[in-house]
Amino acid sequence: MRWTLKPKPEPKLVNTLSKELGVAPIIATLLVQRGITNYQEARDFFRPDLSQLHDPFLMKDMDKAVARIEKAINNNENILIYGDYDVDGTTSVALLSSYLKTFYPNIATYIPDRYTEGYGVSYQGIDFAHDNGFSLIIALDCGVKAIEKVAYANKKDIDFIICDHHRPDKQLPEAIAVLDPKREDCKYPYKELCGCGVGFKLIQALASKKGKTIESLVPYLDLVATAIGADIVPITGENRILAYHGLKVINSNPRPGFKALMQATKKEKFTITDVVFIIAPRINAAGRMKHGNHAVTLLTETDFNLAAKYAIEINRYNSDRKDTDKLITQEALKQIENNNEQDCFTTVVYNKNWHKGVIGIVASRLIETYYRPTLVFTKSGEKLAASARSVKDFDVYEALEACKEHIEQFGGHKYAAGLTLFEKDFEAFKAKFEEVVSQTINPKLLTREIKIDAPITLSEITPKLHRILSQFAPFGPGNMTPVFMAENLQDTGYGKQVGEDGKHLRFTATQNGTGKIVGIGFNLGEKYDLIKDRKPFKAVFTIDENEWNGTKSLQLKVKDVKG
């Protein structure tokens, strides 16, 4: 692993902020690194307030979207809420449909089938709308590239409102409104909303026209926080405010669907990490293993007993998903070895029988072993479909753009994308992708990096420090859990390999004969030789709280160790 120490902020700025806030210099350092340089900014950071949210009408086309929805309601039209089958899409559909249903009955939802329709707006979905008398479709978390599909809908006298957050092409669909902060002509101040976040801005605009306050929309923020966590968007600006208040809803008054999913975990308090690793995979499992409709049904159910029944079903899909992705990952790793592709700049694997619903997860798993841009292909009808995942600081979307002569369709983000191509183009695409990445990637990006916020001494690690650090949450891209480095550490002599096959490392560290704190390093068992016999070592870690037999104590969650 590469250890990269973040640049030290201007000492004068750190000292001034430290005095102004009455906090230790290390806290002031972390704040300045996050762009917080004065009392007011610190107050906004530690106390995210809904009043800090931007006016939704700053978003291009918001006035047109609201006017068209109001017209539909006045004319008693049928409105179809359409969304992608992943967490961001299903939470968006649950959010907008349940909000509109509080004052208008003619609302239905539509989630495309991952296998028969694929990602985004489908002709099948438009035909469904036409056959069932829908004159307005509101598409969430998709649609910004659906130029032909929207044109097809227009011919059938169906209007479209698009709420998306993906990068648009130069040409936009001929929709009534295209809400997407990433539009070049959109002056909305915050660009990093997820699809559900854009959907929330739409209900914020609708509510404001009805004279309602932002507080009336707080019950919907559990959905928004879940989408923010699952879609791995930056937890900065508006996303941080929405996630902060959404987590409060999840922990105090979650909707029945969330309550049913959370009940089995026995956790007292959910963090954004728990949302990402406990709630999100279960919601995703519906679309992966069965159909995204099951997730929307769970998320919109108001009767807890029914929600509990749906949650059992969703948990079963999640168990099936785990078994499937584990098996495919093993097969993919074997394929890489058999083809002697361990030293390539990319990983591209294909098996026509792999389950399309889990190839994205498998791509992420392969990156854990071979740290490089990765594509996992399977057969999907007449074509091959793939999920792409990337390594930190490498834009896989741009790499795919450079290979588009061999691709039938693609879309996505810097770190995750999806594509389809014809089987005859697979080998040419694979060669081109390897060529593009090998010529454009900085080789150091192929070694996993740990970014270290600041050096620290063990004597600085106190309950007060941990208490303040915990107020930096919710954590995520743009506001990661602070990572520290300590040098001249020594194990007290009780360090050992723990867990199955000694996979993990546990030690009690002192520094220059003072301080004493336990460190636990998951999957670092092979580093034991670096710390045994009281050899001096250095470690990179986050500071964690451990509870054992009712007693809480601080510990180091170790990310790496060097001699």
For β-strands 484-491 and 177-179, DSSP reports them as: unpaired
> Alpha-carbon distance 561 to 539, whole Å?
4
CATH code assigned at 151: 3.90.1640.30
- Bridge partner list, 548: 551
Q: 259 and 134, same structural domain?
A: yes
Residue 412: its H or E element: strand 409-412
Give start and end residues of each alpha helix (H) in 290-342. 293-300, 304-338
Same domain, 351 and 479: no
- Per-residue model confidence (pLDDT) at position 236: 94
- DSSP-based three-state secondary structure for 255: coil
The answer to whether residue 19 sits within a structural domain is no
Same domain, residue pair 440 and 490:
no
| 138 occurs within a structural domain | yes
In this predicted structure, what is the pLDDT of residue 399? 97
Strands 2-5 vs 449-452: parallel, antiparallel or unpaired: parallel
Residue 477 identity? P
| Alpha helix positions (H), 132-194 | 147-155
- Give the chain's domain count: 3
The alpha-helical segments, DSSP class H, found in 22-60 are 25-33, 39-46
Asked if residue 351 and residue 228 are part of one domain, the reply reads no
Q: Are residues 297 and 369 both part of a single domain?
A: no
**Residue 267: what pLDDT?**
80
Asked if 179 contacts 198 with a C-beta cutoff of 8 angstroms, the reply is yes
- Euclidean distance between CA atoms 314 and 294, whole angstroms: 8
Please state the separation of Cα 43 from the chain's center in Å: 26
Residue 31 lies in a domain: no
Query: Which pLDDT does position 266 carry in this prediction?
Result: 75
Is 40 within the bounds of a domain? no
Residue 267 to residue 253: CA distance in whole angstroms: 15
In a domain, 108, yes or no: yes
Q: What local confidence, expressed as pLDDT, does residue 384 receive? A: 96
* Angle 382-388-389 from CA coordinates, rounded to 5°: 165
Binning the chain into helix, strand and coil, the percentages to the nearest 5 are 45, 20, 30
Greatest pairwise CA separation for the chain in angstroms: 80
Give the domain CATH number at 531. 2.40.50.460
Q: Decide if 237 contacts 192 (C-beta within 8 A).
A: yes
pLDDT reported for residue 547: 82
Residue 408 near residue 377, CB atoms below 8 Å: no
Report whether the peptide linkage leading into residue 25 is cis, meaning its omega lies within 30 degrees of zero.
no
Q: Are residues 406 and 521 in the same domain?
A: no
Report which residue type is found at 166. Answer: H
Q: Is residue 322 part of a domain?
A: no
Whether residues 430 and 531 share a domain: the answer is no
Q: What is the Rg, in whole angstroms, of the alpha carbon atoms belonging to the chain?
A: 25
CA distances from 489 to 6, 135, 430, 517, 562 (A): 21, 68, 47, 10, 10
For residues 366 and 332, is the Cβ–Cβ distance under 8 A? Answer: yes
Say if residues 217 and 200 touch (Cβ distance below 8 Å). Answer: yes
Contacts of 14 (CB under 8 A, 6+ apart): 25, 28, 29, 32
- The backbone torsions φ and ψ at residue 504, rounded to the nearest 5 degrees and listed phi first, read -110, 165
**SS3 annotation, 444-471:** HHHCCEEEECEECCHHHCCHHHHHHHHC
144 and 184 part of one domain: yes
The dihedrals phi and psi of 503, each to the nearest 5 degrees, come to: -65, -30
Residue 500 neighbours by CB under 8 Å, 6+ apart = none
- Show pLDDT as tens, one digit a residue, over the chain (563 residues): 999 999 999 999 999 999 999 999 999 999 999 999 999 999 999 999 999 999 999 999 999 999 999 999 999 999 999 999 999 999 999 999 999 999 999 999 999 998 888 889 999 999 999 999 999 999 999 999 999 999 999 999 999 999 999 989 899 999 999 999 999 999 999 999 999 999 999 999 999 999 999 999 999 999 999 999 998 899 999 999 999 999 999 999 999 999 999 987 778 789 999 999 999 999 999 988 989 999 999 999 999 999 999 999 999 999 999 999 999 999 999 999 999 888 899 999 999 999 999 999 999 999 999 999 999 999 998 999 999 999 999 999 999 999 999 999 888 788 889 999 999 999 999 999 999 999 999 999 999 999 999 999 999 999 999 999 999 999 999 999 999 999 999 999 889 999 988 999 999 999 998 889 999 999 999 999 999 999 999 999 999 998 888 888 999 999 999 99
Judge if 473 and 428 occupy the same domain.
Answer: no
Name the 3-class secondary structure at 231: coil
End-to-end Cα, the chain, rounded Å? 13
Write down the pLDDT at residue 125.
97
- Tokens read off for 260: 């049913």
pTM above 0.85, yes or no: yes
Are 162 and 69 contained in the same domain?
yes
Say which CATH number the domain at 376 has.
3.10.310.30
Range of the structural domain that residue 91 is part of:
56-313
Domain boundary among 271, 297, 313: 313
CA angle (144, 210, 225) in 5-degree steps? 50
Three-state secondary-structure class, residue 545: strand
- The answer on 430 and 469 residing in a single domain is no
Of 429, 446, 463, the domain-final residue: 446
Tell me, yes or no, whether 397 and 517 share the same domain.
no
> Within a 10 A sphere around the Cβ of 372, how many other Cβ atoms?
19
CA 101 to chain CA centroid, Å, is 28
Q: Is residue 323 part of a domain?
A: no
Of 404, 427, 446, which residue is a domain's last?
Answer: 446
> What type of residue is 317?
Y
Q: Is residue 41 part of a domain?
A: no
